[in-house]
Amino acid sequence: MTKICIIGAGPSGLAQLRAFEQAENNGAEIPEIVCYEKQENWGGLWNFSWRTGTDQAGDTVHNSMYRYLWSNGPKEGLEFADYTFQEHFGKSIASYPPREVLFDYIQGRIKNTNVREKIEFDTLVRDVKYIEDRKIFAVTTRNGKTDSEKTVEFDNVIVASGHFSTPNVPYYEGFEIFNGRILHAHDFRDAREFSDMDLLVLGTSYSAEDITSQCWKYGCRSVTVAHRTAPMGFGWPENIKEVPALVKVNERTAFFKDGSSAEFDAIILCTGYKHHFSFLPDDLRLKTANRLACNDLYKGVVWNNNPKLFYLGMQDQWYTFNMFDAQAWYVRDVLMGQIQLPDQKTMDRDPVIRQENEDALEDDYACIRYQGAYVQELINETDYENFNIDAANEAFFQWKKAKKKNIMTFRDQGGLISPMDESISPPHHTEWKDELDDTMASYMKN
Ligand X SMILES: Cc1cc2nc3c(=O)[nH]c(=O)nc-3n(C[C@H](O)[C@H](O)[C@H](O)COP(=O)(O)OP(=O)(O)OC[C@H]3O[C@@H](n4cnc5c(N)ncnc54)[C@H](O)[C@@H]3O)c2cc1C
Task: Name the site residues for ligand X (rule: CB under 6 A).
Answer: 7-13, 36-39, 44-46, 62, 64-65, 71-73, 78, 124-125, 160-162, 164-165, 279, 313, 317, 320
Using the rule CB under 6 A, is 414 a contact of ligand NAP?
no
Question: In whole angstroms, what is the distance from residue 120 CA to residue 126 CA?
Answer: 14
Contact of residue 20 among ligand X, ligand NAP, none (CB under 5-8 Å per partner type): none
Specify whether the CB–CB gap between 207 and 273 falls below 8 A: no
- Write down the least CB distance from residue 164 to ligand NAP, Å: 5
Using the rule CB under 6 A, is 271 a contact of ligand NAP?
yes
CB atoms within 10 A of CB 58: 10
What does residue 169 show for φ and ψ, rounded to 5 degrees? -115, 100
Question: In whole angstroms, what is the distance from residue 394 CA to residue 400 CA?
Answer: 10
Local structure of residue 292 (DSSP, 8 states):
S
Contact of residue 166 among ligand NAP, ligand X, none (CB under 5-8 Å per partner type): none
Which string of x and - marks every residue 146-175 that binds ligand NAP (by CB under 6 A)?
Answer: ------------------x---x-x-----
Quote the strand ranges of 14-74, DSSP E. Answer: 32-36
Contact of residue 16 among ligand X, ligand NAP, none (CB under 5-8 Å per partner type): none
Out of 12, 39, 161, 317, the only residue in the binding site for ligand NAP (CB under 6 A) is 317
Between 64 and 212, name the residue whose CB sits nearer to ligand X: 64
Burial of 112 (0-12, 13-18, 19+ CB in 10 A): exposed
Contact of residue 228 among ligand NAP, ligand X, none (CB under 5-8 Å per partner type): ligand NAP
Question: In whole angstroms, what is the distance from residue 14 CA to residue 35 CA?
Answer: 9
Contact of residue 272 among ligand X, ligand NAP, none (CB under 5-8 Å per partner type): ligand NAP
Nearest to 439 by CA among 41, 104, 63: 104
Beta bridge partners of residue 303, listed in sequence order: 297
- Write down the least CB distance from residue 39 to ligand X, Å: 4
- Write down the least CB distance from residue 260 to ligand X, Å: 29
Between 70 and 277, name the residue whose CB sits nearer to ligand NAP: 70
Nearest to 375 by CA among 322, 338, 301, 417: 322
Which string of x and - marks every residue 177-196 that binds ligand NAP (by CB under 6 A)?
Answer: --------x-----------
Please name the residue ranges forming H helices in 66-146.
85-89, 99-108
3-class state of residue 400 by DSSP: helix
Which of the residues 6 through 65 are near ligand NAP (CB under 6 A)? none
Contact of residue 271 among ligand NAP, ligand X, none (CB under 5-8 Å per partner type): ligand NAP
Out of 49, 52, 60, 72, the only residue in the binding site for ligand NAP (CB under 6 A) is 72
Across 378-388, b (16+ Cβ under 10 Å) vs e yields bbeebebeebb
- Write down the least CB distance from residue 120 to ligand X, Å: 9
Quote the strand ranges of 69-179, DSSP E. Answer: 119-120, 123-131, 136-143, 148-154, 156-159, 166-167
Helix (H) or strand (E) holding 225: strand 222-226
3-class state of residue 391 by DSSP: helix
Helices and strands: H and E segment counts in the chain? 9, 20
- Write down the least CB distance from residue 140 to ligand NAP, Å: 30
Between 64 and 413, name the residue whose CB sits nearer to ligand X: 64
**For residue 319, which amino acid is it?**
Y
Contact of residue 202 among ligand NAP, ligand X, none (CB under 5-8 Å per partner type): ligand NAP
Between 200 and 314, name the residue whose CB sits nearer to ligand X: 314
Question: In whole angstroms, what is the distance from residue 135 CA to residue 125 CA?
Answer: 20
- Write down the least CB distance from residue 231 to ligand X, Å: 21
- Write down the least CB distance from residue 165 to ligand NAP, Å: 10
Nearest to 404 by CA among 343, 363, 347: 363
3-class state of residue 177 by DSSP: helix
Q: Under rule CB under 6 A, how many of the chain's residues touch ligand NAP?
A: 24
- Write down the least CB distance from residue 238 to ligand X, Å: 26
Contact of residue 7 among ligand X, ligand NAP, none (CB under 5-8 Å per partner type): ligand X
Out of 39, 141, 165, 207, the only residue in the binding site for ligand NAP (CB under 6 A) is 207
Provide the binding-site residues for ligand NAP, judged by CB under 6 A.
69-72, 164, 168, 170, 185, 202-208, 210, 228-229, 270-273, 290, 317
